[in-house]
Amino acid sequence: MGHVSGNNTGFRLCPGWFDRQAQESLVTLLRKSVAAAPFYTPTMPRTGKPFSVQMTNFGPLGWVSDQRGGYRYQATHPETGAPWPPIPSPVLEVWRRLAEYPSPPEACLVNYYRPTAKMGLHQDADEEDRAAPVVSISLGDTALFRLGGTERRDPTRSFRLSSGDVVVLGGAARMAFHGIDRIYPGTSTVLGDWFPEGGRLNLTLRRVTVGR
Ligand code: MD6
Ligand code: FE
């Protein structure tokens, strides 16, 4: 789980951060929280095209997107109007151990990828606090993660992210372009009871505001 040096200083991949048993108990916890904040399908700013992933959030602020309002953080679920559930403590624990940042995360975006879903190359750029890293947790089927540099045209490298892996994008890598090219169906059984078709969950922890 060492640092990868080069153009992406501050990128860290921690394979197997959660063992199978820890993955199972985390999935059970997440399922309970998601019952209070169901997955919904966000839409793209301007075009209104649906994302291929489904989303929800935990924490004081959640990342949302729709045709009218664009990308933003808000305190409530766009469909239920309820405040997001709290970030589960084993998830906060990952941040405490890896973020090297004094304040807690404010947002935990939860993405669910059906086996055919993907996510285009993007930067996480809607946060005021760019000094804090983004920490992400993968559960379920393996994904092909692509990481570039801070310019869209920069060369990219690809990594497989397996269930239980944690990624940190900090330092120079905080503003690196990244995306998910594909899911490898049938590579994990950990989501089995919840999503019989399999797929992948990704949790991204972020600090949104500066200070407090
Ligand atoms: C995913 N991850 O792994 C998408 N963003 O499904 C992200 O978009 C991401 O893994 C910022 C930092 C780490 C990430
Ligand atoms: Fe991202």
pLDDT > 80? residue 8: no
Output the DSSP codes for 191-208: TTTT-TT--EEEEEEE--
- Here the CATH number for the domain that contains residue 65 is 2.60.120.590
Pocket test for ligand 1, best of 158, 201, 204 (most atoms within 8 A of CB): 204
Looking at the structure of the chain, the number of domains it has is: 1
Q: How many CB atoms lie within 10 A of CB 141?
A: 27
pLDDT of residue 5: 39
d(Cα 92, Cα 87) in Å, to the nearest integer? Answer: 7
Question: pLDDT digits over 22-75, tens only?
Answer: 999 999 999 999 999 999 999 999 999 999 999 999 999 999 999 999 999 999
Closest to 117 measured CA to CA, from 46, 175, 29, 42: 42
- Given a contact cutoff of 8 angstroms between Cβ atoms, the answer to whether 163 and 190 are in contact is yes
* Residues 6 or more apart whose Cβ sits within 8 Å of residue 153: none
Q: Judge whether 212 lies within some domain.
A: no
Q: Which domain holds residue 171?
A: 5-206
- Given a contact cutoff of 8 angstroms between Cβ atoms, the answer to whether 9 and 168 are in contact is no
Q: Judge whether 211 lies within some domain.
A: no
Q: Judge whether 164 lies within some domain.
A: yes
Q: Judge whether 146 lies within some domain.
A: yes
Question: pLDDT digits over 79-98, tens only?
Answer: 999 999 999 999 999 999 99
* Residues 6 or more apart whose Cβ sits within 8 Å of residue 5: none
- Given a contact cutoff of 8 angstroms between Cβ atoms, the answer to whether 56 and 88 are in contact is no
> Mean pLDDT across the stretch 148-170?
98
Ligand 1 atom 11: residue of nearest CA: 134
Any residues with Cβ below 6 Å from ligand 1, and which? 111, 119, 124, 134, 136, 145, 167, 169, 178, 180, 202, 204
Ligand 1 atom 14: residue of nearest CA: 136
Ligand 1 atom 3: residue of nearest CA: 202
DSSP state of 3: B
pLDDT > 60? residue 6: no
- Give me the residues near ligand 2 (ion), CB cutoff below 5 Å: 124
Query: What is the length of the chain?
Result: 212
Closest to 38 measured CA to CA, from 194, 198, 212, 200: 194
Q: How far is the CA of 79 from the centre of ligand 1 (A)?
A: 24
Q: Judge whether 197 lies within some domain.
A: yes
Instruction: Extract the tokens encoding 61.
Output: 């602020």
Instruction: Extract the tokens encoding 25.
Output: 């108990």
- Given a contact cutoff of 8 angstroms between Cβ atoms, the answer to whether 74 and 107 are in contact is no
Share of the chain above pLDDT 70, in %: 95
What is the radius of gyration, based on Cα positions, of the chain? Answer: 16
Instruction: Extract the tokens encoding 103.
Output: 């304040």
pLDDT > 90? residue 3: no
Q: How far is the CA of 136 from the centre of ligand 1 (A)?
A: 6
pLDDT > 50? residue 1: no
Q: How confident is the model at residue 212 (pLDDT cuts 50, 70, 90)?
A: low
Q: What are the CA-CA distances from residue 85 to residues 41, 56, 88 (Å)?
A: 18, 10, 9
